[in-house]
Structure 1
Amino acid sequence: MARKAVSTLDFSRLRQAWVRIGLTTQPAERDAAEAAVRKAYQAAGLAVPEKVVWCESPFSQALVRAIVLDPHFADGVVSSMWVNVKKTNGPGIRDDIKDAFCSSMRLFDTGAVKQRLINAIKNDVTAGMYEHMLGTMNESVRFSATDSVWQSIWHSVWESTEDCILTAIGDGIRAAVKAQDKQVLEDTIRSRLTACIGDSVKTTVWDGVMENAWANIRSGADSKARVSAWKNLWEVLQKPIWENIASPIGEHVKTCASGSAQASGYGQHDAYWLSFYAYFREVEGLEEETEQITGLLDLAKTAGWFTPHARVCWVSERPRTLSLNDKGKLHSSDGPALTYPDGWQVYATDGALRFSSVPQ
């Protein structure tokens, strides 16, 4: 059977569709996006994440990951937990570790005490990490760390870790009672917090799947089709979506959490390269060869950036507003060129970032 001719109309249709995906400001389709995350993990041969945690901007997403993985976060949980358990037991608490923890355990087993304890830890650690994170940011990034953004960040931090913290404290107290050693409690909480997030799996979920799909396309499509798809989709869409939108966002995010930026996939802003694979799937009929990449295709169509870890995947909302000049670059002369639901705003003139902030 003769292979059908490469159609200019096919390329035009796909370009328009993927530009819309890359530049949309519609709210994320959260249920569909979470299903896409699970599909992407499974395609990469990974267990699905135990939690999908939503963040309101790529900036918030990067900081949430940075906070959760920061050693100061675990240290803050440990110190706050120890102080507040003793407060729960009252001023007459004994110094003997076994008696202290046995008493703590009895109190901790009640729902009311658990909630008071987690609220106290949340308040203490939030305040401490706020100061710590601000101290590590440069001035331009601190403009972005306003109250509305921090509120969004802390909501996602505790959504990521609250169950784990409660479990870690329970396990740690039991272990400390048995060992009669406060250090056991501290070590248990730190190790459980690290384990509940797991390692970054971006390379497996993103790079690995792309490499596999590319190998399949190389064997399933002739070189003329590959070159045409490259020139008409990947190459054409890279500038308006990646260079003009995603890259400026990423450069700002890197200044506050470079590791988080590098551990992220870009969802809708991966449109420039995903359109290439969509062409071979939808037009050339290489469905089996591109099956592994459908989770990433679906995620780009339904959400913004994402940061995959073994047990938690953070996913960002799409922008709320986007302003471009006639060359497709971020631009606004009288306000932010880009805004996200948590209030994070990027100001730019003809593609050059001026600063990002929320006016007070």
Structure 2
Amino acid sequence: MAAPTAAESRAAALGAVSAKWLAAGLSTARADRQAAAEAARLAYRSAGLPEPRHVVWFASPLAGARAAALLTGRRDLPGAAPDPAEEAIAAQLRGQGCPPVIGSAGASVRAAVRTAPWAAARAEAHDLLGPDGWAGLWAACGADVWRLVNDRIATPLRTHLRGELPVHARAVLLDAVGGQHDAGWLAAFDAAAPVPGAPPAAAGGTPAAGPVFTAGPVAAAWVSAAGSGGADAASGSASGIGAGPVGAGSGLGVGPGGAAPVFSAGPVGAVWANLGAGEAALHAVQRLAGLAGVARSSSWWWPYANVAILTDRPDTLHRDNIGRLHAADAPALHYSDGYALHAWRGMPIPSDLVDRLAHLTYRQIADERNAELRRVMLEHFGYDRYLREAGAHKVAQDECGILWRLNFADDEPLTMVEVINSTPEPDGTSRVYWLRVPPQTRTAREGVAWTFGLTEEEYRPLIQT
């Protein structure tokens, strides 16, 4: 077998970084609480902050948000009826040695722990690679992970959390750090991690206590840029970056004595070293090691001056074939304390709808006032069955099929083409398919053409399959 080309080696190395962080973002494994807590403390130190007096744990982001609301004072006004959920949170805080004193968390330090280090790391990587190089790195390592983790899991979760929290407590969601759901941008910075041996730098450039970076799978992937294309690399262009031998290692390593996990050395770090930047290079990326360590073993977390509130990863995650939260008869996302999110093809749905789906009638669907929920019910019930039972109107029929339409009072009409597969099944029958088409469709041919991105006049199939 021929040796892989430079481009193939580079793509494989960057793909490995992306896959590692996608796995972290989707993980339902039990958290390593000790490692995550140490990583959180490292994140504080790397930001130049004192470590929090307390690091406390809760089983879900909802419980973590409730704890943040209690400790920051974002809670019911004095004199309100006791909140059993808040009392349970207070009991858990006491059990972990953290007095549940209202307002005792101190100010949010999210900007110092997460926002500022992220911006500094991006600026350094951007300066090294230039706009095109940074865009290429993001496309190779971060974009897909961000889409599958942040867009399709974290965003629906945030929407659901807002609905679960009292209005006065929702502001704490602005204080949260994503943990494992920050996997997309952490993947890109992992690929930009510095060379081995450069200690993490604290604010002001002083090396912080903690682990050093270890050699990872892409340590030398772009090293040839410094030899043959160093001028391009130094000027910020990615065009001259080639691929050298793939380094040993496997993702986040551990520092001396088994300290918190950190980034592996990525391709950008190798370029810096060969350009003579040495251990001074990419200190901003190094300061993300604590955030990366938390993300490898926990879900959302809240950094405050006096308290860091960490939460466990989910114990159940169900997705459809394109990565959206989805489950027909169970929570799509579930945490060990019972907090759960039900979803149908990415859209959060009420938990009671799951039970109703198994016993739907077309009348219940017709009576549903929420158009989005009605669409979920329609997909589960089956469009063909609904059209039959609800009395849809036949609009047109031609050699391509039959066009059906059913009007709703508060939504666009349900318009579908019934088509028959011209290739018989093994038993001699022909399968019927239903294609949803735009409401303004006038003929079955026009509807079928639309599914191919064509006009009715352009649709001239030579063979029907």
Range class of TM-score, shorter chain: 0.5 to 0.7
The CA deviation at 1:212 is 1.3
Report the counterpart of residue 301 of structure 1 in structure 2. Answer: 296
Matched ranges for 1:77-88 at <5 A: none
Report the counterpart of residue 221 of structure 1 in structure 2. Answer: 129
Q: Which residue, 231, 242, 267 being the options, matches 2:139?
A: 231
User: Match of 2:267, SS?
Assistant: coil
Aligned partner letter, 1:50: R
Q: Which residue, 37, 41, 46 being the options, matches 1:34?
A: 37
Alpha-carbon distance in 2 for matches of 1:37, 1:200: 14
Q: What TM-score do you get using the length of structure 2 for normalisation?
A: 0.52
Aligned partner letter, 1:41: Y
Q: Which residue, 152, 170, 186 being the options, matches 1:258?
A: 170
User: Match of 2:287, SS?
Assistant: helix
Q: Which residue, 108, 115, 125 being the options, matches 1:207?
A: 115
What percentage of aligned pairs have identical amino acids?
27
Larger Rg: 2
Q: Greater strand share, 1 or 2?
A: 2
Report the counterpart of residue 71 of structure 2 in structure 1. Answer: 68
Aligned partner letter, 1:199: A
Q: Which runs of 5+ in 2 are unaligned?
A: 1-5, 194-264, 270-281, 356-465
User: Match of 1:10, SS?
Assistant: helix
Report the counterpart of residue 16 of structure 2 in structure 1. Answer: 13
Alpha-carbon distance in 2 for matches of 1:30, 1:258: 26
Structure 2 residue 9 is matched with structure 1 residue 55: no
Aligned partner letter, 1:17: K
Q: Which runs of 5+ in 1 are unaligned?
A: 77-124, 131-144, 166-192
Alpha-carbon distance in 2 for matches of 1:9, 1:197: 44
The CA deviation at 1:222 is 4.5
Report the counterpart of residue 332 of structure 2 in structure 1. Answer: 337
Alpha-carbon distance in 2 for matches of 1:275, 1:227: 13
The CA deviation at 1:234 is 2.1
1:40 touches 1:293 (CA, 8 Å); kept in 2? yes
1:217 touches 1:289 (CA, 8 Å); kept in 2? no
Aligned partner letter, 2:311: S
Structure 2 residue 80 is matched with structure 1 residue 158: no
Report the counterpart of residue 244 of structure 2 in structure 1. Answer: none
Alpha-carbon distance in 2 for matches of 1:303, 1:336: 20
RMSD: 2.7
Alpha-carbon distance in 2 for matches of 1:160, 1:201: 22
1:49 touches 1:313 (CA, 8 Å); kept in 2? yes
Report the counterpart of residue 313 of structure 1 in structure 2. Answer: 308
Alpha-carbon distance in 2 for matches of 1:71, 1:58: 16
1:339 touches 1:345 (CA, 8 Å); kept in 2? yes
Q: Greater helix share, 1 or 2?
A: 1
Aligned partner letter, 2:146: Q
1:271 touches 1:300 (CA, 8 Å); kept in 2? yes
Alpha-carbon distance in 1 for matches of 2:308, 2:336: 19
The CA deviation at 1:12 is 1.1
Q: Which residue, 260, 264, 267 being the options, matches 1:284?
A: 267
- Shift >2 Å, 4+ stretches: 67-76, 150-165, 218-225, 285-289
Q: What TM-score do you get using the length of structure 1 for normalisation?
A: 0.66
1:41 touches 1:48 (CA, 8 Å); kept in 2? yes
Distance 1:66 1:22, change over 3 A: same
The CA deviation at 1:239 is 1.3
